[in-house]
Amino acid sequence: MAKRQWIFADRFLNRSDFHSYINDQNISIKRTEQTNGGQKITYRCSECRKFPQCDFQIRCLMKDENEYIASTSNTHNHSNRNATTPELEWSEKSVLNGFRTCPSVSIKQEKVAWKWKNGLDKSSILYWYGHTHVVPSSYCKQYTSSTWLHAYNTMPWTQFDEFSSWLYAGRLVTIPMMCSCKTNLKTYICKHAVGIMMHFGFYVVSDPGKLEDLGKRRRRPKKATSALCR
């Protein structure tokens, strides 16, 4: 593959001139490197996924706060749009799935929630207000639901570690589907929210039979004995 050719483009003597140049180029940072000559930032086309043939790049050497040297390689080429990633994919998907106010919960997620709910000490569920409850997590046993909530109100932490262990020690679950845990923030579903819904009888399990045999299946199956021995 031919070595990339760089052409000197411009030199800027302050940050704001450099930034306004960069902002006009439709590029985003690809990587940054620390070199002997200063920090080197490589930018590539912001739309390179949409236009895979676009190989436009800008490289900037930042000698210090007051000297920015920019070079370019190739130019934008937006004549062919990537056919495999149609722009409207996400909206077509929402049409296929139909309108929903809540994410759909898979059987696997139901099972995890069921197991979590069954292992939860029900006296640890603390009603807070509205539809919101506090439950302790298995991560840190230092807090009960009420000491966790007390810390939420008084913020007694003096170090990040204290704050962090508090944060993961309790879950704020708001019926129907909200929870303060990481999984819920990412996927809008978690065992805590679904489990609490199950506990209060707000959640209709899609296939109760499958949940019931969850515990049994864990046991080692009995060795099959031939029918003639019995």
Residues that bind Zn ion (CB under 5 A): 45, 54, 56, 76, 179, 181, 184, 190, 192
Place of tokens 């994919």: 89
Task: Choose between 45 and 60: whose C-beta lies nearer to Zn ion.
Answer: 45
> Minimum CB separation from Zn ion for residue 218, in Å?
23
Residue that is written with structure tokens 């149609």 in the block = 86
- Within 103-161, strands assigned E span 126-129, 132-136
- Can you give the length of the chain in residues? 230
Task: Return the number of the residue (54 or 134) whose C-beta is nearest Zn ion.
Answer: 54
CB of 193 to Zn ion, least distance (A): 6
Report helix angle 208-218 to 107-119, nearest 10. 60
With b meaning 16 or more CB within 10 Å and e meaning fewer, what string describes 166-205? bbebbbbbbbebbbbbeebeeeebbbbbbbbbbbeeebeb
Nearer to Zn ion, 39 or 165 (CB): 165
- Residue 54 or residue 211: which is nearer to Zn ion going by CB? 54
CA-to-CA separations, 146 to 66, 79, 116, 158, in angstroms, rounded: 55, 61, 20, 20
**Nearer Cβ to Zn ion (46/147):** 46
Min CB(159)–Zn ion separation in Å:
25
Task: In angstroms, give the least distance from the CB of 49 to Zn ion.
Answer: 10
Give the tokens for residue 145: 């639901």
Q: How far is the CB of 179 from Zn ion (least distance, A)?
A: 3
